[in-house]
């Protein structure tokens, strides 16, 4: 697969997510319509859709139709979007721009932004549970359980708490890696593992994909830390330079920019090793290989 074919496929996955997200949280025709407007404002603001794309790519790799994971791929993007709305609140990272637009609390006020996050989280589970009831298959329930663990206090929420507790503190690289694995890695791991659970695939490919997923989550957050100091707010669609401003513990604050880049490359090599294992098991890994390069080189 060359870069052009990769880009086409990634765009195809993104479009698939985009179309389905449009109907995943419908507008409410009642006095409290504002909550659906706020939820849709952030959800349809055009993120990179990396998590649904990972979900679709793994489905394709294990010969599961992406339509089987659609509700779950959208649910993960809804949970991710809620986490961004809350992450941007004045009481957490206090950000004014997200996905190239004003943050939810800047447009709707803090109370509605808080509730829009809650509503997105709830709708994600509502949609997944409806799908589980319809499919009546334990693979779908296992996928939802994996995501709920990843999004909860032992995953993303716990990571966000550690992130806040580490502001203005000197922490070890090990502790930072734990924060990154929890606040960002857990949800990315769920995006990769949900199709595997739905397809009820076990054994070496399960383990290799889970290891790959952990490494990819780390790559994603190291690059996020690097981009905060190297990219412009325009390119990122969010305020650049805010980690330093808020004394966040990041790869750059801990190791410096150059060493953060070296660690990123090393982590990239670990991801490629996991893909090689899957290749040797006979799975087509070309898209995930290109996606790994893309995540190592992304500019926003
Ligand atoms: C930003 O995630 C928050 C992190 C977990 C680093 P993304 O960079 O995927 O944000 P969007 O979805 O493209 O806006
Ligand atoms: C956020 O990490 C991770 C979440 C769970 C939302 P960051 O605080 O680094 O994300 P950005 O840089 O604001 O997108
Ligand atoms: Mg944060
Ligand atoms: Mg933030
Ligand atoms: Mg960041």
At 118 the pLDDT is 98
Count Cα neighbours of 281 within 13 Å in the Cβ-side half-sphere.
18
Contact between 293 and 4 under an 8 Å Cβ cutoff? The reply is no
Alpha carbon nearest to ligand 1 atom 4, residue: 184
Across 249-276, average pLDDT: 98
121-132 pLDDT, tens digit each: 999 999 999 999
Counting residues of the chain whose pLDDT is more than 90, the rounded percentage is 99
- Residue pLDDT, tens place only, 167-208: 999 999 999 999 999 999 999 999 999 999 999 999 999 999
Ligand 2: atom nearest CA of 80 is: 6
Cβ of 184 less than 6 Å from ligand 1: yes
**pTM: predicted TM-score of the whole model, two decimal places:** 0.98
Expressed in angstroms and rounded, the spacing between residue 87 Cα and the centre of ligand 3 is 5
- How much of the chain, in percent, has pLDDT values that exceed 70? 100
d(CA 70, CA 92): 31
Rounded Cα distance, 26 and 20, in Å: 11
Q: State the pLDDT at residue 206.
A: 98
Q: How far apart are CA 300 and CA 280, in angstroms?
A: 32
Confidence of residue 221 (pLDDT cuts 50, 70, 90): very high
Query: 46 vs 156, which has greater pLDDT?
Result: 156
Which-ligand-closest: CA of 221? 1
> Does residue 96 line the site of ligand 2, with CB under 6 A?
no
- pLDDT for res 178: 98
Nearest-atom index, ligand 1, CA of 46: 14
Give the helix/strand (H/E) hosting 46: none
CB of 38 within 8 A of CB of 113?
yes
Mean pLDDT of the chain: 97
Mean pLDDT, range 50-54, rounded to an integer: 98
Atom 5 of ligand 1: nearest residue by CA position = 184
Q: Closest Cα partner for 174 from 186, 187, 162?
A: 162
Residue 50 Cβ contacting ligand 1 at under 6 Å: yes
Q: Answer yes or no: is the C-beta of 83 below 6 A from any ligand 2 atom.
A: yes
SS3 content of the chain, % helix, strand, coil (to 5): 75, 0, 25
| pLDDT class of 230 with cuts at 50, 70, 90 | very high
């Amino acid at each position: 697969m060359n870069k052009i074919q990769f880009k086409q496929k990634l765009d195809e996955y993104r479009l698939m997510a985009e179309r389905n997200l449009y109907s995943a949280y419908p507008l409410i025709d009642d006095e409290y319509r504002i909550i659906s407007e706020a939820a849709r404002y952030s959800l349809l603001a055009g993120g990179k859709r990396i998590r649904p794309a990972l979900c679709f790519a793994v489905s394709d790799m294990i010969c599961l139709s992406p339509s089987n994971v659609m509700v779950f791929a959208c649910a993960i993007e809804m949970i991710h979007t809620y986490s961004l709305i809350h992450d941007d609140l004045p009481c957490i990272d206090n950000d004014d721009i997200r996905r190239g637009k004003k943050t939810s609390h800047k447009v709707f006020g803090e109370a509605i932004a808080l509730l829009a996050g809650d509503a997105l989280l709830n709708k994600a589970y509502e949609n997944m549970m409806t799908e589980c009831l319809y499919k009546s298959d334990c693979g779908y329930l296992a996928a939802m359980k994996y995501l709920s663990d990843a999004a909860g206090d032992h995953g993303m929420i716990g990571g966000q708490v550690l992130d806040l507790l580490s502001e203005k503190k000197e922490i070890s690289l090990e502790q930072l890696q734990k924060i990154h694995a929890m606040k960002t890695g857990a949800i990315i791991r769920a995006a990769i593992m949900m199709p595997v659970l739905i397809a009820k695939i076990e054994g070496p490919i399960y383990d290799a994909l889970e290891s790959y997923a952990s490494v990819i989550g780390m790559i994603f957050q190291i690059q996020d830390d690097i981009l905060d100091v190297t990219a412009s707010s325009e390119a990122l669609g969010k305020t650049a330079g805010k980690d330093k401003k808020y004394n966040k513990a990041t790869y750059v604050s801990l190791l410096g920019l150059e060493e953060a880049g070296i660690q990123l490359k090393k982590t990239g090599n670990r991801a490629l090793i996991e893909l090689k294992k899957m290749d040797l098991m006979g799975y087509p890994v070309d898209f995930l290989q290109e996606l790994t390069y893309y995540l190592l080189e992304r500019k926003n």
